[in-house]
Amino acid sequence: MRITVLGAGSWGTTVAAVLTRRDHESLIWARDPVVADEINAKHTNERYLQGFTLPERLRATADLSEAAGHAELLVVGVPTGAFRGTLERVRADLHPWIPVVSLSKGLERDSLLRMSEVIKDVLPGHPAAALTGPNLAKEIMAGMAAATVIATEDLTVATEIQRVFRRGLLRVYTNHDVIGCEVGGALKNVVAIATGIAQGLGVGDNTRAGVISRGLAELTTLAVAMGGEPTTLAGLAGMGDLVATCISPHSRNRYVGEQLGRGRSLDDILAEMGQVAEGVKTVHAAVQLADQHELAMPITRTIHRVITGDITAERAYEGLLRSHPAGHESEPG
């Protein structure tokens, strides 16, 4: 199959490499021509996957029209802030009816849409799916075992995409609950910032475990309010992705939180990283969704106050511990 991956960041490049090794004719689009040239000439992407060699058969291009026209399956791994604009640019060159798979974990800030909803909005008639789960790019590139989820309402389409992605130690599951899968993938980034702050403040493993557990309760509550299924959030797209993102030193969102906990400014952290930490943007949409559904979501709201500069990271943890009495564990908050 001819597959195009839009976005040559760490995860997009990793997915393109996996698909190429699965004997698909893969083409990756890089916004920066220098990155495309490096992938073609040196079979590396040192900015995002330093130390890893890419398959020689993987081709790259900086021409978005060429990338779109090549695709029998389109995989979109650009940041959520560029997701809609990129789809609008490929629309004219895309073959009709081909499936479109989102790799991006977040929510569109103004519309509050999930990425599969953005696909349906911009590319009506194309089956929309999301690939999500605990998928740290460098571990998959290193050949470590991992599990992922293809989420789409049409399980026939999901099964076909599952067949395309399945390779070696990468175990691919299907799920019809797109809402639950995408909300889990988006909100875990916010909880990872909170967990990172705990790490930066040195408040202890008990505190971090508490934040992860109560964070899972929050994202489950929001997913269910939006129409998702609670069992989804107990699986790979919820708890699995949450644990990986909250504990891994490779997690960008956890890193942002850790640096905030050490007293650094958000602007300095993001400028140094040179990469997108989706939780920083997602938290704004998450608070609006919490308001719409009249949900407390104290962790999400507290991290929003930190990101907007309303309170410091240290104050945030004092507030989480003292803000209100705890109720029954089955209840959010």
The answer on whether 7 is annotated among ligand-binding residues is yes
Those residues whose C-beta lies under 8 Å from the C-beta of residue 171, and which sit 6 or more positions away, are 145, 146, 147, 148
Whole-number pLDDT of residue 34? 97
Please check the confidence at residue 78 and state whether its pLDDT lies above 70. yes
The answer on whether 291 is annotated among ligand-binding residues is no
Please check the confidence at residue 320 and state whether its pLDDT lies above 80. no
Q: What is the dihedral of CA 277, 282, 287, 289, to 10 degrees?
A: -160
Residue reference for tokens 């920066």? 32
Measure the CA–CA gap between 5 and 7, rounded to whole angstroms: 6
Structural domains present in the chain: 2-176 (3.40.50.720), 179-323 (1.10.1040.10)
Q: How far is CA 254 from CA 117, 182, 278, in A?
A: 27, 19, 11
Whole-number pLDDT of residue 167? 75
Beta strand 146-151 with 128-132 is antiparallel
Contact 131, 107 (CB under 8 A): no
Average pLDDT value for the chain: 94
The answer on whether 9 is annotated among ligand-binding residues is yes
The answer on whether 279 is annotated among ligand-binding residues is no
Write the pLDDT tens digit of every residue in 41-72.
999 999 999 999 999 999 999 999 999 999 99
The answer on whether 31 is annotated among ligand-binding residues is yes
Element at 160 (helix H, strand E): helix 155-165
The answer on whether 213 is annotated among ligand-binding residues is no
The two tokens of residue 64 are 């978005």
pLDDT band at 325 (very low <50, low <70, confident <90, very high): low
Q: One of 42, 120, 138, 188 is an active-site residue; which one?
A: 188
Nearest-5° Cα angle at 278, 224 to 77: 95
Instruction: Answer yes or no: 120 catalytic.
Output: no
Q: Which amino acid is at 89?
A: R
The two tokens of residue 120 are 């349906």
